[in-house]
Amino acid sequence: MKHADFVHLHVHTEYSLLDGACRIDKLLKKAVEFKMPAIAITDHGNMFGVIDFCKSARKLSIRAIVGSEMYVARRSRFDRKSTGKTRDYHHLTLLVTDEEGYRNLLYLSTASYREGFYYKPRIDKEILRKHSGGFIALSGCLEGEPAALLLQGKKEKALAAIKEYQEIFGPENYYLEIQDHGLPEQKKIMPDLLDLAARTGARLVATNDVHYVEKNDALAQDVLMCIQTNTTIKDPNRLRFGTNEFYLKSPAEMAELFKQVPEALRNSVDIAQKCNFQPGASGSQLPHFQVPEGYTADNYLRMLCEKGLKERYRDVSAQLRDRLEMELSVISRMGYSSYFLIVSDFVRFARSEGIPVGPGRGSAAGSLVAYLLRITNLDPLKNGLIFERFLNPDRVSLPDIDIDFCYERRGEIISYVIEKYHKDNVAQIITFGTMAARAAIRDVGRGLGLPYSKVDEIAKLVPNELNISLHDAIERVPELQNLMRQDPEVAQLLEIAQSLEGISRHTSTHAAGVVISPRPIYEFVPLYQSSTGDITTQYSMTNLEELGLLKMDFLGLKTLTVIDQTVLAVKRLRGSDLNIDEIPLDDPATYDLLNRAQTLGVFQLESAGMRDLARKVGINSFDDLVALVALFRPGPMTMLPDYIKRKHGEIPIAYDAPVLEPILKETYGVMLYQEQVMKIASEAGGFSLAEADILRKAMGKKIPEVMEKYREAFIRGATRNGIAEDVAASIYSKMAQFAGYGFNKSHSAAYALIAYQTAYLKANYPVEYMASLLSSEMGNTAKLTSYIEECRRMDIAVLPPDVNLSDLKFTVIGNEIRFGLAAVKNVGDTAIKAIIVARNKKGRFQSLFDFCSRLDSKVLNKRVLESLVKAGAFDSTGGRRSQIFAATDNALEQAQTEQREREMGQIQLFGESSGQDVVSSVPYPDVDDWPDYLRLKYEKEVLGLFISGHPLAKHEDRLRNLTTSNATTLHETKDGDAVVVGGIVAKIKTFVPKQKKERMAFVTVEDLDGFFEVIVFSDLYGRTAELLHEDALVMLSGRVSYKDTEPKIVAEDIMPIDKAEERFARTAHIKFMSAGTEESTLAELARMVNSNEGDCRLFLHCVTPDHHEVVIESHHGRGLKPSPAAKEQIESLLGAGSIWFSGHPSANSS
């Protein structure tokens, strides 16, 4: 094929974040269409996209040229002073010709962030001189130094700059870029550039500053720039390109533009031919692990495993010995002994420092070596786990051991690794945030300058589903289609949003990933410095793995912290040395808790669906729990009915062949785990476990040609093992079906162990466990509320914070839990530590005045003090909260006076300390106590929730289902809108209008979201006056009035909240799981509905195994009566929360 006579050498992909709009695949396909032999990637100041670009180019058989458009500081890269008149940098395009150039670009790109960052990542000529080898340098766009100087009329300086760059790179390696995007500035300097080229001997090269692929992508790129600069396309002063010519032009278009200088076109091809380097893997790049003298990595690993064998097992069977020899042989042959030693070392460090470590994660739990090294804590032989699922000798790739650590102390392990392997050899890993469907609409809407409310309305029409595309959303949502047809603005918005959807938008740091290299990381990958100062790689995690670098996930798992804190509390409070790794796995109290589905706060088992499943399945052993963790996923859920019936003996368990029984017995004949598929392939089909793993992976990815190839091999092997051909074919088909969603048993077993441990602690040490659980969620109000309610169900009182009893976190006192001071808003760690130190030093605080006197006024201010009072933290010192609150100013002032006098030596006797601080005891002001609603309001203000009570807590579902608005959403209504609201009467003011002689009222109502005002006119007030008093819980309907600035509700009907269903319910809703619900249960439900017939339309919500909800209206002419009796009966059959009444007239209720 004849190649084109032009190559694009100045190209910005989407990794020129919020500037370049070229998606890599689209860009490369267009270049191939133009028959270009090569194309460059030259993103602004970074190398983010280099590996993906090169990988995609290889697939399309077009050569990738690695490069970057660098920012060169005018003075030094260390200079942080701005002139204010001109930019403090110039552009310079660098293209890599060989490995030296690539290494230099890695170094320069790293230095631009770590040394030169000032608004932009900058290098300077000093560092360029030291690292100039292996490059072709292009002078850049209008921001390049020669062009910028020519625009300023400084031709001789431009000449000097060209000569300087020629001296840095060599005359043959520095080219003058000429561009023509129709900009007058480019036309103006073209003659001078040609003249300077002649005078210096510099060769010319034609480039197009490509920022988007097609010409009609210009608007989308303009919007992208607006998103970056927080402007809109309606702003005439926005940062923008002057024309729409910054696209990937064809060779013919470029030839037409530069027909006067054809050598500039030819030179682009010449340059491309010089640029032959392609980055890629060169084997694994494991860091060096220092073994003791006299050892190699292989025999040191063996020695540690032999030691672990004696520690883990009393009797070393032949099976154990064979398994160990097999694993060590594979590890040694693949060159991964150092890898295991590295992981073992930092896990050993964590354990030695008392940092909780998880029992395992993912397929690594299948390794005996990992178990012996205490990397994992689950016996792989006892649990039937397979090493080849973790490390396949036939598939060369680095092992992947992800480890869970205590989330609070994960940083200590990373610090250890940095210290051991040197800070230059360790870095965190970059991730790229992309524009998801809804985000793309919102971003583009801002860029187009559309009203927020309009954009928000459109964005909310996109279904709230993970990974949904705008294309799918438009196809599925008729409202979006109608809006596109009817409103040109919406059509444009969605068209641009689709073109930008999924594009890289910003960088962030991977939550757990760390890369460790044998030498400074910048010798392998470029580094990036985030705005927060974090050093990360410029390449993504996938890219790092492809380059053979060691990537580790140091995952922070909050549950491990909860377990550790519980164990410490048990020792502190009960004097019991509880070892969580040695608890019995057959504890009756634990299984009783699991089977009662009392698993709120239990790892992996606290969702409503999982609790329901636990109740139906019945958990009698650890194996049942492992299966439960694996079952609760969309794919395996389809097997639930069969699994449950087999487990309960309702249908017989049958096996297609005797060889399957020992493999599938633990799951009652149901194929559930990936390991089972592998064992069947091995023991029935005669595959090696390594081959079986490849088969499993092919089945999971549904690769037809591989599956067909192995089908024939499996049937041949099975028939040799005495299985009939048709039976073998049937087994293979079932394997293929289940392998697509079969779960990794290694991971399931490891996480089931954590689930069991948390259930064990909750069952046997409930107060300590719940206190630790609450402490772990202090920043999550929803979780705190849920867990506090669970405590109350468990008859564990959760008490307000107390300056005399509380510590930093939630603490156990007897059979009660006391709020931690850290949960109080506005009270920081410094103040809390000061409180605890003062209390430990001189005992209880006797009063607010005593408290203020003993704490340094530098850590105690009015805001801190008032927050503590509102939270109830001074209740134990005497006085009502209202009195204590009223005394705060006086207490602070008096304490400050005493502290000043103390500092001046006035509170001393004969110059010596009396040994007793002078504490003024001043009586509290005589003020009325706060009403309940105000006390609760203040609690919620500083704790995020009500703690001493909650007037609306038991009515929360009723409010959600029967109301149409609340204190927050009321502002979204229009004048005259009909609403139904509910809450507690916080304040009422009655009066008699002049024109009438009957009393009316203004009522302030508080709901769970805030306050709103209600106007009750005379007629209604006369009928409902007895309901309208402070603290009354009411539901009311009315219409919104905007006569004043704030919306008010003109009431039309009012009733007690517990009678609300009778007046406002329009529909009844019953929810049940389709899987495991028997016909007899449905028949009993029908009987209950018949006996409670009423006017509410009845909807049945059937939840399918894949978590979709099918809503069916009952069309038998029967509605349901909204009565407490009906609710009680149906919940006794289907469980709490299975029925609710709604004020909505349709199925659209939850």
Domains along the chain with CATH numbers: 24-213+248-274 (3.20.20.140), 297-419 (no CATH), 430-557 (1.10.10.1600), 559-759 (no CATH), 777-943 (1.10.150), 953-1063 (2.40.50.140), 1065-1142 (3.40.1350)
For residue 73 the two structure tokens come to: 């500081």
| Buried/exposed 1108-1124: b ≥16 CB within 10 Å, e otherwise | eeeeeebeeeebbbbbe
For residue 141 the two structure tokens come to: 């766009």
Between CA 737 and CA 52 the distance in angstroms is 33
- Side by side, which strands form the sheet with 816-818? 797-799, 816-818, 811-813
Please give the helix or strand (H or E) that residue 705 lies within, else none. helix 704-720
Pick the residue with more confidence: 705 or 747? 747
Type of residue numbered 475: E
- pLDDT of res. 1045: 63
* Residue 808: Cβ within 10 Å count: 16
Asked if the model's pLDDT at residue 906 lies above 70, the reply is no
Between CA 724 and CA 708 the distance in angstroms is 19
- pLDDT of res. 710: 84
Asked if the model's pLDDT at residue 1150 lies above 80, the reply is no
Residues 985-999 have a mean pLDDT of 77
Write out the DSSP string of 789-843. HHHHHTT-EEEPP-TTT--SS-EEETTEEE--GGGSTT--HHHHHHHHHHHHHH-
- pLDDT of res. 1146: 66
- Condensed to tens digits (0 to 9), the pLDDT of residues 546-596 reads 898 988 888 899 999 999 999 999 999 999 899 999 999 999 999 999 998
- pLDDT of res. 84: 58
For residue 1038, what are the contacts with CB-CB under 8 A and spacing of at least 6?
A: 978, 979, 981, 1014, 1049, 1050, 1051, 1052, 1053
Is the distance from CB of 772 to CB of 812 less than 8 angstroms?
Answer: no
- Condensed to tens digits (0 to 9), the pLDDT of residues 1125-1149 reads 888 899 888 888 888 888 877 666 5
Of 16-20, 104-108, 736-740, give the range with the top mean pLDDT. Answer: 104-108
**DSSP class of 217:** G
Write out the DSSP string of 900-924. HHHHTT-SSBTTB--SS------PP
Alpha-helical runs (H) found in 422-511: 437-448, 452-460, 470-476, 478-486, 488-500
Residue-level length of the chain = 1150
Asked if the model's pLDDT at residue 609 lies above 80, the reply is no
The model's confidence at residue 340, banded by pLDDT at 50, 70 and 90, is very high
Between CA 1014 and CA 987 the distance in angstroms is 10
CA distances from 408 to 345, 750, 767, 897 (A): 20, 21, 22, 40
- pLDDT of res. 914: 39
Between CA 448 and CA 224 the distance in angstroms is 10
Phi first, then psi, for residue 551 (nearest 5°) are: -110, 130
Is the distance from CB of 143 to CB of 45 less than 8 angstroms?
Answer: no
Pick the residue with more confidence: 398 or 156? 156
- pLDDT of res. 1149: 56
What is the pLDDT of the chain when averaged over all its residues? Answer: 89
Residues 1076-1084 have a mean pLDDT of 83
Between CA 663 and CA 675 the distance in angstroms is 9
- pLDDT of res. 430: 94
Residues 1088-1101 have a mean pLDDT of 89
- pLDDT of res. 1117: 61
Is the distance from CB of 280 to CB of 547 less than 8 angstroms?
Answer: yes
Asked if the model's pLDDT at residue 1023 lies above 80, the reply is yes
Between CA 293 and CA 1018 the distance in angstroms is 95
Asked if the model's pLDDT at residue 253 lies above 50, the reply is yes
Asked if the model's pLDDT at residue 919 lies above 50, the reply is no
Asked if the model's pLDDT at residue 920 lies above 60, the reply is no
Pick the residue with more confidence: 165 or 361? 165
- pLDDT of res. 9: 97
- pLDDT of res. 995: 57
Asked if the model's pLDDT at residue 471 lies above 50, the reply is yes
Half-sphere exposure of residue 196: CA atoms within 13 angstroms, side-chain side? 27
- pLDDT of res. 16: 95
Residue 310's nearest CA partner among 268, 356, 372 is 372
Asked if the model's pLDDT at residue 949 lies above 80, the reply is no
Residues 644-665 have a mean pLDDT of 91
Of 92-101, 393-402, 775-784, give the range with the top mean pLDDT. Answer: 92-101
Pick the residue with more confidence: 357 or 396? 357
Say if residue 1004 is exposed, middle or buried (CB neighbours under 10 Å; 0-12, 13-18, 19+): middle
Asked if the model's pLDDT at residue 1032 lies above 60, the reply is yes
Is the distance from CB of 979 to CB of 1053 less than 8 angstroms?
Answer: no
Residue 120's nearest CA partner among 99, 89, 86, 141 is 89
Alpha-helical runs (H) found in 512-621: 541-546, 558-574, 588-595, 608-617
Cα dihedral value 221, 224, 230, 232, nearest 10 = 50
Asked if the model's pLDDT at residue 1101 lies above 80, the reply is yes
Among the residue ranges 120-134, 208-222, 456-470, 795-809, the one predicted with the least confidence is 456-470
Asked if the model's pLDDT at residue 775 lies above 90, the reply is yes
Residues 1111-1129 have a mean pLDDT of 83
For residue 624 the two structure tokens come to: 């049942």
Pick the residue with more confidence: 491 or 87? 491
Is the distance from CB of 732 to CB of 692 less than 8 angstroms?
Answer: no
Is the distance from CB of 1139 to CB of 1069 less than 8 angstroms?
Answer: yes
Between CA 106 and CA 68 the distance in angstroms is 10
Asked if the model's pLDDT at residue 910 lies above 80, the reply is no
pTM, 2 dp: 0.77
Asked if the model's pLDDT at residue 909 lies above 60, the reply is no
Residues 845-872 have a mean pLDDT of 90
Between CA 1118 and CA 1126 the distance in angstroms is 14
Composition of the chain by helix, strand, coil, percent to 5:
50, 15, 35
Between CA 797 and CA 794 the distance in angstroms is 9
**CA 896 to chain CA centroid, nearest Å:** 46
Asked if the model's pLDDT at residue 677 lies above 70, the reply is yes
Among the residue ranges 144-158, 732-746, 817-831, the one predicted with the least confidence is 732-746
Residue 32's nearest CA partner among 4, 54, 12, 10 is 4
Widest CA span of the chain, in angstroms?
A: 106
| Angle made by CA atoms 260, 266, 272, in degrees to the nearest 5 | 145
Asked if the model's pLDDT at residue 85 lies above 50, the reply is yes
% of the chain beyond a pLDDT of 70: 96
**CA 170 to chain CA centroid, nearest Å:** 49
- pLDDT of res. 1011: 77
- pLDDT of res. 972: 76
Is the distance from CB of 787 to CB of 810 less than 8 angstroms?
Answer: no
